[in-house]
Structure 1
């Protein structure tokens, strides 16, 4: 697989990155609909290097900073997923107050044409851009044509429930259906973060856990999940994770991921793990005491093993 190049300064693009065919969008989660857009872009101009133009932070994070975190994928995760689709150049445009005031006309002419020197662009039917979303697909088609750039409007990939979308996948995760989110993403959804020191209570209960903050990731339904954990070095281990605020202990802290890796004994503090959610086993609940909680954790771990073994066996 060719290694993609990441460009974060649209005003200084090296000449070797000029002349691409680029898909436009936020690409949060890089789901099957996004893959369809990328593949359609390549099919339109297979003779050109394949690129993506995206934004960071997500515009919603700038315009609605009071909203809870909602991201399906952070920049590194998105870049890796786009690279896996064969994208050669990712133009990640810094979306700040100044950029948000750029008109649709200036975006097409100054950014896409003059700075990135794109030869072909593609987008989905709902793509809107520019100050106050002043540009749409019709405007983009007209203006790129006037500037001598090719354009493809790509119909949204859909199933019986409608078009694939990041919004739809967020809802599935918030309702506790990670296995259905996996179907729409084309891979399990995961939370990636650095292991932090906790209160060591899991170790006292006989189930030591790696504690990972949710950070800017979406908070899925609170509860217990069967998970697989990707460790540094590429190793993957099965486990069980709790996502929530630990109501039995009632520590008042923000929601986080606490994952117990099966048959593992090692120091993970400070390391970056990716915790992939496979199935929600139960909702978050309060227990009468730590003994009852410990018994339930043992049951959760046994159930998670069964779920993951069945999945591995293709049952």
Structure 2
């Protein structure tokens, strides 16, 4: 996947199929949109995602917002999906004031050579957000592209949106968040050296320091899976500030992996949070912390063993 970031000058030769949006969370609605441009590759078009950096909501409010998916996470997900080109178009006073007609003719038509555009019903772009899918359709014949408007996906009578996903994650409702996203909610990053307390207690953990712009669910313990070393591993994760042994207030993501003993410091890993188990607690001593860690790990072990047993039963061939 090629990435063009931080410039308004886009040099691209191939005709493209374009999806425009923030894609925060890359939820089911986003995936439907992206599926359309990926399928357009069969017609020789380059599957292209167009985003603004920073997102318009952040630019206009002047306030940073924790993201469901960080820029690095989006890049990795888009690459795995088969996207050919990612545009991270700079959002500033000049680009924000660009007339929507100019955006279509100059950026989409001249620079990206768009032949197909997939648009959500809530799409807005250009000066004061006046551009929308109606404008895209009005200019389609003259600019030589086709427009497909993608309807929202509903869940429980509500439109799936980044706001909906965000609300459920902040409640710790990871199962529903997974349904809305189409995949488990994931925290990723480079494995860091911790205080080695877990190793000292006989329960070593893989430690991540989440980016400041990453949205996190409530502090506590979660059943999880980690992608490391090219495969997925069962685990249990604590998200929090480690109040029993530290008063720094620094958030960390610490994962104990079952049947795993490799050194992966410095590697990029992904932690999928599946089920919220309990809130983070401050214990009166390290010994009490150790006892509770052991109980959490054993409960997680029983969960994963039962999951494997259910899978084995489901795979048996009736006789």
The TM-score by the shorter chain falls in which range?
0.7 to 0.9
Instruction: Check the 8 A contact 1:10/1:115 in 2, yes or no.
Output: no
Over aligned residue pairs, what C-alpha RMSD do you find? 2.5
Counterpart Cα distance in 1 of 2:40 and 2:267: 42
State the secondary structure of the residue aligned to 2:43. coil
What does residue 267 of structure 1 align with? 263
Instruction: Check the 8 A contact 1:244/1:257 in 2, yes or no.
Output: yes
Counterpart Cα distance in 1 of 2:252 and 2:186: 13
Counterpart Cα distance in 2 of 1:193 and 1:45: 31
**From 204, 207, 213, the counterpart of 1:208:** 204
Shift in Å, 1:135: 1.7
State the secondary structure of the residue aligned to 2:107. helix
Cα deviation, 1:231-254, whole Å, max 9, x if unaligned, reads 1x3122221111111222342232
Counterpart Cα distance in 2 of 1:10 and 1:303: 53
What does residue 225 of structure 1 align with? 222
Counterpart Cα distance in 2 of 1:72 and 1:44: 27
Instruction: Check the 8 A contact 1:227/1:277 in 2, yes or no.
Output: yes
Q: Please state if 1:57 is matched with 2:57.
A: no
Residues 272/82 of structure 1: CA separation in 2 closer, same or farther (3 Å cut): closer
Instruction: Check the 8 A contact 1:41/1:152 in 2, yes or no.
Output: no
Counterpart Cα distance in 1 of 2:302 and 2:139: 56
Shift in Å, 1:93: 2.3
State the secondary structure of the residue aligned to 2:254. strand
Q: TM-score with structure 2 length normalisation?
A: 0.86
Q: Please state if 1:255 is matched with 2:251.
A: yes
Residues 161/297 of structure 1: CA separation in 2 closer, same or farther (3 Å cut): farther
Instruction: Check the 8 A contact 1:45/1:120 in 2, yes or no.
Output: no
Counterpart Cα distance in 2 of 1:289 and 1:68: 36
What does residue 171 of structure 1 align with? 167
**Gaps in structure 2 of 5+ consecutive residues:** 315-319
Q: TM-score with structure 1 length normalisation?
A: 0.87
State the secondary structure of the residue aligned to 2:134. helix
Shift in Å, 1:307: 2.7
Shift in Å, 1:164: 1.5
Q: Please state if 1:35 is matched with 2:26.
A: no
Q: Tell me how many residue pairs correspond in the alignment.
A: 308
State the secondary structure of the residue aligned to 1:119. strand
Alignment of 1:115-264 (within 5 A): 115-215=111-211, 216-231=213-228, 233-264=229-260
**Gaps in structure 1 of 5+ consecutive residues:** none
Cα deviation, 1:244-283, whole Å, max 9, x if unaligned, reads 1122234223212111222333333222211111111111
Instruction: Check the 8 A contact 2:58/2:65 in 1, yes or no.
Output: no
Shift in Å, 1:229: 1.2
Counterpart Cα distance in 2 of 1:311 and 1:161: 31
